[in-house]
Amino acid sequence: MSSKDVDALARRQLVGIAETWYDQFTEGRIPSLTLPTRTKQNIEYDETSEVWKYGERGTTRTANSEKSALHILKMAYVIGFLKQQLQESRSSTLREMYYISEGWKRAKFSAQDESNMLVEDLEIITELSREAFHLRPEEDGASVYGPLRLKETTKRGVRDIHCQQDVGEAGYPIPNNVENIEFVEHDAKFIIAMETGGMYARLMENGFDEEHDAVLVHLKGQPARSTRRMLRRMNQDLGLPVVVFTDGDPWSYRIYASVAYGSIKAAHMSEILATPTAQFIGVQPSDISDYNLPSDKLTEGDVAALKSELTDPRFDTEYWRRQIKLQLEMGLKSEQQAFASRGLDFVTKEYLPARLGEMGIL
């Protein structure tokens, strides 16, 4: 689909929402809006796409309460704004739209969160991503380093970039709209995505990418949509397996889950953002005892998060149940950089090759 076609589709879809309301008005019905419930109780595994998506549970907002009426009014203003933006081929950031809403009187947003949620609602209804509405996220894409050549269409023309030879130590920064990237060639065997900058730099310094033909990706904590989309595209288009390397605590497991299965907040985007074949490499709770890693005690919050994961459908596998229960028994957690206690080369020479071998990647 050309970008012109995408624009036209986005406009049609957005105006379609307003048309539904218009029809409700003329039929003398109070305008309403139905959306899937966005909680972990309402995400389901989709067999065909192998990702987690929203289930059947829906919430209908009818404008017969002040809150819902205001919600619909705000959405109408957002639709009006996006329609105009598409018409004029302009784009804006979520934050800019938040400030633009200052002029919408009663329909103005009370917080940035509110506008983000509204845009996500629109994505769900239209089955389009916010990029299709010409809305840019504020969030910072992470970076890639490895034997990969790509072309990026920028506003100033097409750039040809090799992600080892043409970039500095920070690597190639992933742009907001990953659809603007075209892969040219690569010499990679797999992709390793890391939670922390420290580990990313360690692998780069130790030459792990060259030694094992690996593409290094720095997730920068909870990965942005563009980072997840980049992983998905490299996995799909280049056929490269993806492994995720994080700290050994409950919050880090969720980073893995959002890469592999999609996040609860953006389950409507799972099909284009999630990499269902992504595997978790570590730090596994069993590694803490196996390698005698320096560790901290689990806090109350950690324990609660682990218990919550036991009821999360995304962690409902034999592997995860065993690991989470083991961690709850030990009451310990370790960071990925704790491997340094066994020397700076231990992680690249011993731990990762061993794990990659176990997982059938090396």
Partner 1 sequence: MALAEKLAAQQRSISVAEFFEKNKHLLGFDSPTRGIITTIKEAVDNSLDACEEAEVLPDIFVSIVRTDRDVLRIAVEDNGPGILAEKVPFVFGKLLYGSRFHQIRQSRGQQGIGISAAVLYAQLTTGIPAKVISRTDARAAAHLFELMIRTEKNEPEILRHEEVEWDRTHGTRIEIEFTGTLAAKKRLIDYLRYTAVVNPHARIQADIDGEFHSFDRASEEVITPPEAIAPHPHGIEFGTLKRMASASSDDVETFLIAGFSRVGKKSAEQMLSLAGIRGTRKAKGLSSEQLKVLLDAMQTVNVPPPPASLCLSPIGEEMIVQGLEKEFSMDFVRARTRKAQVFSGHPFIVETALGYGGKLDAEGQGQLLRFANRVPLLYQQGACAITSAASEVNWKAYNLSQQGLPMGPVLILVHVASTNVPFTSESKDAVAAIPEIEREIVLALQDLGRELKAFINKRERSKLAENRARAICSIIPDIAGKVAEIVEKPVPDIAPIEGQIMRKIIARKVTREGTVELSVHNYTRSPAEVMLYLISGDDASGADQPPDFTDAFGDEFNKVWKVRIEPESHWRVHYPGRGGGSLDMRGVEEKMKVVVDLDVQ
Give me the residues that bind partner 1 (CB under 8 A), please.
Answer: 15, 18-19, 21-22, 25-26, 28-31, 63-66, 69-70, 72-73, 76-77, 79-80, 83, 105-107
DSSP string, 131-151: GGGTEE-SSPP-EEESSEEEE
Least separation in angstroms between residue 104's CB and partner 1 is 9
Q: Could you tell me the smallest distance in angstroms from the CB atom of residue 60 to partner 1?
A: 16
The contacts of residue 334 (CB under 8 Å, 6+ apart) are: 247, 248, 249, 283, 287, 288, 293, 294, 295, 296
* Residue 254: strand, helix, or coil: helix
User: Which of 30/354 has CB closer to partner 1?
Assistant: 30
Q: With respect to partner 1, which residue has the nearer C-beta, 76 or 330?
A: 76
What is the b/e burial string over 281-307, where b = at least 16 CB atoms within 10 angstroms of the residue's CB? bbbbbebbeebebebeebeeebeebbe
Positions marked catalytic: 99
Q: Do residues 151 and 159 lie in contact, with contact meaning Cβ atoms separated by under 8 Å?
A: yes
**Shortest distance, CB of residue 66 to partner 1, whole angstroms?**
4
63/243 with CB nearer partner 1: 63
Rounded Cα distance between 310 and 191, Å, is 28
SS3 240: coil
Give the residue with the Cβ less far from partner 1, 90 or 105.
105
- Residue 55 makes CB contacts below 8 A (sequence gap 6+) with 36, 42, 43, 44
**Amino acid identity for residue 227 in this structure:** T
Minimum distance of partner 1 from residue 258's CB (angstroms): 34
Cα-based angle 174, 141, 75 (whole degrees, multiple of 5):
120
**For partner 1, which is the closer residue by CB, 12 or 325?**
12
Q: Which is nearer to partner 1, 125 or 234 (CB)?
A: 125
For residue 346, the number of C-alpha atoms closer than 13 Å in the C-beta half-sphere is 11
CB 195 within 8 A of CB 255: yes
Shortest CB 30 distance to partner 1, Å: 5
- Report how far Cα 299 is from the mean position of its chain's Cα atoms: 26
Q: How far apart are CA 265 and CA 258, in angstroms?
A: 10
Least CB distance from residue 98 to partner 1, whole Å?
18
Contact 154, 32 (CB under 8 A): no
Q: Annotate 185-223 with DSSP letters as a single string.
A: EE--SEEEEES-HHHHHHHHHTTHHHHHTEEEEE--SSP
Least gap, CB of 266 to partner 1 (angstroms):
26
Looking at the Cβ atoms of 5 and 27, the one nearer to partner 1 is: 27
Q: 288: number of CA atoms within 13 Å, CB side?
A: 22
